[in-house]
Structure 1
Amino acid sequence: MVKDKATVVIVGGGATGVGILRDLSMRGIDALLIEKLDMVNGASSRYHGLLHSGARYAVKDQEAARECIEENTILRRIGKSCVEATTGMFVQVEGDDPDFVEPWLKGCKESGIPTREISKEEALRIEPNLSRKLVVAYEVPDGAIDGFRMSWQNLQSAARYGGRYKTYTEIIGVNIENAVVKSITVRDNVTKEEYEIECEILVNAAGPWAGQVAHMAGLECNVSPSKGTLIAFNQRISNRVVNRLRKPSNGDIFVPHGSITILGTSSITIPDPEDTSTSWEEVEELMKTGEGVFEHLRDYRILRVFAGSRPLYVPKGAEGGRNASRGFVTIDHEKEDGLKGMMTICGGKFTTYRLMAEKFCDVLAPKLHNTAKCRTAEEDLVPEVPEAEKKAARQYFPSYGVNLAATRLGVDKFGDVVKTLKEQPETREVLCECENVTMAEIQRIAAEPTSHSVADVRRRTRMGMGTCQGNYCALRSAAVANKLFKNKLEGCNDSLGDMKNFLQARWKGITPVMAGKTLREAEMTRGMYELLFNVNGGRRG
């Protein structure tokens, strides 16, 4: 049964997909994006959150390096509230190859990446936790970026131009007639309903799942999922992004985010992109490497470990894993395979998602006789909340809370939340102290049609993503949010079940590092929820 239609249907709700939706919508093309889970549930949120300056690629891939520094500048401008302008530092310690410095500096210069040498004394003053075995340091314009927030702001921007999106909508078939894509069959993963969506062009932007989507159309797409494991620590180890100045390898990037630090990453080729498992061996490898930069790394408590799957495109005969290109590829299946109405984009990195979308849409738009130019670099993703509004609302928020809420919510939702806080004083209660999230904000996000569980609310508000990892806010938020969901995910029919699922997801990231300070914290969590709610080992007694 045909239930919906769009000129272009985009499969995949990561940074690439939402970037394409925004670009097409701004060109006046009717576009619909579908995602089988919640938005930004794959590699676009499961990475270290580095806004690349391009310096990491300056030796091996100068084209990628130039793209990064150009997009770095653009994203800082159009997505101000998503970027923390930390700057970055590339450092060498004793034992690193000194001969790597000269070609790296040459590559940065040729790629247009500004660098500044920092004396050892200045580097240690700026970042006192750095190893005393530091040899040399250079400053570069790296930064930290919130993948969740930037992706959702792309969706908000697209919606202003008529772009549409559906979460928990999974493609299960591609319907072809006479070598032309006519529609796709999808399943609503909340209601389990199956139906068709008609389209003129199907865009496969499914990241590491792109090969599976291509297979539904009888095609092959050589995407090699590469799992990267990362570690989140309970505080800012550094105030700047810190990279190891050497050939890119595992465990050589530290990225500060808010009150935490993320260390990454590994690169392991895997057959199944759903595999986000982590192990103590992977953690130990990252820790040993990381200690070369921050020698007291083991003094910090590990919050959790997580992994994401990179969608690396590997042409036949080429190498995968760490040696695979971080570039992207556009595949026009009409030219390549004789199938009209389907295109695939894969590869790339978060920093260049906007550029990837622009180049891809420059190929797609003429197929629809659309000659509009890309404007995504010219317009901010969302309007900023005026300072006067934030000042007037400060009385309703906890300390620093107003700026955090304004950044998370954007001008429209911020106004709704402030109105609720003003009219209903009980909603001023802070449900998540780590991220300063009020009850009013939880209620506003939970009431949206794309929210079906506390985990969905977490991705939009950062509730449960701070240093306590949901120890205290899981129950409060589940109790408030669950009754507001229009439709609930399986297993989230009541607040206790929703809370249990939320905690189980957090537990997955703690299990591989269950030792020392992390074990003590986990035992406290287990004791609280087992004694108070009889929640034990994922079971309700």
Structure 2
Amino acid sequence: MLQAIVIGGGATGAGILRDLALRSVRAALVEQGDLVHGTSSRYHGLLHSGGRYAVKDPESARECAVENQIVRRIAPFAVEPCGGLFVRLEQDDPAYARRWVAACREAGIPVEEVDPDRLRREEPLLAGSVCEAWAVPDAAVDGWRLVRGNVAAAEARGARVFTYRRVVGLLMDGRRVAGVRLLNLATGEEERLEAELVINAAGAWAGQIAAMAGAPLDVVADRGVLLVYHGRLTSRVVNRLRKPGNGDIFVPAGSVTLLGTTATPVPDPDDISVPPEEVEELKRLGAEMLPMAATARILRAFAGVRPLFGSGPGGNTREISRGFAVIDHEVEHGVPGLLSVVGGKLTTYRMMAEKAVDVAAARLGVTVPCRTAEEPILPPPDPDAVRRLVHLVGRDLAQAVADRHPATLPQIAEAIARPGGRQVVCECEQVTAGELVGTARELGAPSLGDLRRRTRLGMGTCQGGFCGYRAALLLAREGIVAPEQVPALLARFQAERWRGVRGGLGGLELRAAELNYALARAQLAMEPAAGTADAVAQMGGAGHD
């Protein structure tokens, strides 16, 4: 029997699974969608220095400052150390800026004043009203890579992972939680997993899980809307130097720039709608720091739901601490066998996991100490595979592939080396046919969304309008999916992409949307089986380099 079951395949759940595995605990993780299905992939991608919380939440600031350095060290494959800035505009309070600098130094956050002339040379798109700037060790972090790295490390030590399994109930032995009841979303069958302990790391859904055992849990679902701009508008993370609010963070990530975020409490953690008025508010506020934000092309607008613990005055979620809590429901509510970890930030995921597993280990009689801060999540990329990739696709793309697939790089390199493997399917993110095929074979029967989360397929300018078709036909040509499955595969991917695209529609965006719509109409006009089979046959000679 398992010793522990972790509910939730985001950063915290994956971190807990790795920590358990390093302590030789027999554990499994269950997730209702694909890994990184929820909040850990629906945020601005910022590895916090702690500066954002230095004034109003110094404990969270100190936690972020410490964990920022640890995550850089243990997960270099997931971190872009681009650095960060806090900039004060002429209309912002100079007294707050002085308080902020003092609070950062008190929290152990390195801050360095930046000369305005140097700043304008390095970040020419910033507003002319910027009158003060400070450099901080912010970074961009890829939530998909971070989670998959933790999971791969745990699986290498015997942990098990069950995706597309929704928790529909907890197995109860009297008042004790003894496992989980799962609905397999692929087969429609119900499954059961038993364990000595269940660890609830379900994020915004954690309150629903705890309620299945009759345990109250005060989790606030706080929806935040973000915008994704075409291209990198800044070279570093740019924060506005004022009390945290809406539209005050730009984060460069890959080939795009994210602007975030709003804060709206919602009753349903599945509410990831994008109100048009919040999009317009973000554009207006973002343009105060970066004027180009008012007119630059928006690729998509999306929302994520923060799981906040506690409540703010008058329902103001900005005033709720970004700290976290580990709840032992046996102590708090007389429900043995259940722990919950709630709140926190992706930046502090490892610390949250350590504190949760410390409590779990005590319950399980395990005395092995935590080692997650000292040991790299994954070993360095296989040097032979890296050299092979450099020869095949050049140094820059080889590095990107190594970062996207640190645990399976030799297999991906082998797939790229095959005939047609170097053909670029997604130009924006430089995803090759070999990378897609190798990843798809590893997953078995993936959706295009599953491939997107692992390769960044469709996350650039066309938002899947061109590369989605190429990828679907490639999977059919390689025998990974049947030709008659291609229309459904594409329709699901296009619907997923459209949900974000429609939130940011404007002048430039409408032109691209019209083109993608015309492509979709043409695809739907084909007789599904014959048309797709013909298209697959035509690709027979299109895969050569």
TM-score (norm 2): 0.93
Partner of 2:182: 186
Q: Please give the secondary structure, in 1, of the residue aligned with 2:435.
A: helix
Partners in 1 of 2:312 and 2:119 — Cα distance?
44
Distance 1:40 1:298, change over 3 A: same
Note the C-alpha offset of 1:531.
2.5
Partner of 2:221: 225
Partner of 2:373: 377
- Select the residue among 497, 519, 526 that pairs with 1:506: 497
- Select the residue among 253, 259, 273 that pairs with 2:269: 273
Note the C-alpha offset of 1:376.
0.6
Letter of the 2:287 counterpart: E
1:167–1:450 CA contact under 8 A, matched in 2: no
Distance 1:451 1:213, change over 3 A: farther
- Select the residue among 455, 458, 479 that pairs with 1:464: 458
Distance 1:453 1:297, change over 3 A: same
Distance 1:502 1:272, change over 3 A: same
Letter of the 1:455 counterpart: G
Extract unaligned runs of 5+ from structure 2: 532-545
Partners in 1 of 2:513 and 2:470 — Cα distance?
19
- Select the residue among 13, 16, 25 that pairs with 2:12: 16
Partners in 2 of 1:505 and 1:138 — Cα distance?
38
Q: Please give the secondary structure, in 2, of the residue aligned with 1:426.
A: coil
1:312–1:320 CA contact under 8 A, matched in 2: no
1:446–1:484 CA contact under 8 A, matched in 2: no
Partner of 1:99: 95
* More displaced stretch, 365-374 vs 399-408: 399-408
Distance 1:226 1:485, change over 3 A: farther
1:459-497, CA deviations, whole angstroms, 9 ceiling, x for partnerless residues?
Answer: 011111122211211011112336879899xxx971111
- Select the residue among 426, 436, 440 that pairs with 2:434: 440
Q: CA RMSD in A?
A: 2.0
**Residue-pair matches, total:** 527
Letter of the 2:442 counterpart: E
* More displaced stretch, 501-510 vs 473-482: 473-482
Partners in 2 of 1:379 and 1:364 — Cα distance?
20
1:161-203, CA deviations, whole angstroms, 9 ceiling, x for partnerless residues?
Answer: 1111110011111121221112221110111110211111011
Confirm whether residue 301 of structure 1 aligns to residue 297 of structure 2: yes
Partner of 1:129: 125
Letter of the 1:365 counterpart: A
Note the C-alpha offset of 1:428.
2.2
Letter of the 1:438 counterpart: T
Partner of 2:534: none
Partner of 1:140: 136
Q: Please give the secondary structure, in 2, of the residue aligned with 1:291.
A: helix
Note the C-alpha offset of 1:299.
3.1
- Select the residue among 485, 500, 507 that pairs with 1:516: 507
Note the C-alpha offset of 1:440.
1.6
Partner of 2:350: 354
Partners in 1 of 2:478 and 2:377 — Cα distance?
28
Letter of the 1:135 counterpart: C
Letter of the 2:464 counterpart: G
Note the C-alpha offset of 1:405.
0.9
2:382–2:409 CA contact under 8 A, matched in 1: no
The runs of 4+ residues in structure 1 deviating greater than 6 Å are 483-488
Confirm whether residue 64 of structure 1 aligns to residue 55 of structure 2: no
Q: Please give the secondary structure, in 2, of the residue aligned with 1:448.
A: helix
Partner of 2:537: none
- Select the residue among 43, 48, 51 that pairs with 2:47: 51
Confirm whether residue 211 of structure 1 aligns to residue 202 of structure 2: no
TM-score (norm 1): 0.94
Partner of 2:413: 418
Confirm whether residue 340 of structure 1 aligns to residue 336 of structure 2: yes
Partners in 1 of 2:39 and 2:416 — Cα distance?
35
1:452–1:485 CA contact under 8 A, matched in 2: no
1:386-419, CA deviations, whole angstroms, 9 ceiling, x for partnerless residues?
Answer: 5554233323226732111111111x52211222
Partners in 2 of 1:408 and 1:228 — Cα distance?
26
Partners in 2 of 1:484 and 1:110 — Cα distance?
58
Note the C-alpha offset of 1:208.
0.4
Note the C-alpha offset of 1:316.
9.7
* More displaced stretch, 133-142 vs 428-437: 428-437
Note the C-alpha offset of 1:505.
0.9
Note the C-alpha offset of 1:450.
6.6
Partners in 2 of 1:532 and 1:478 — Cα distance?
12
Partners in 2 of 1:67 and 1:319 — Cα distance?
25
Letter of the 2:282 counterpart: L
Identity %, equivalent residues: 42
Note the C-alpha offset of 1:449.
4.0
Partners in 1 of 2:314 and 2:327 — Cα distance?
17
Extract unaligned runs of 5+ from structure 1: none
* More displaced stretch, 452-461 vs 440-449: 440-449
1:448–1:485 CA contact under 8 A, matched in 2: no
Note the C-alpha offset of 1:319.
4.9
Distance 1:355 1:194, change over 3 A: same
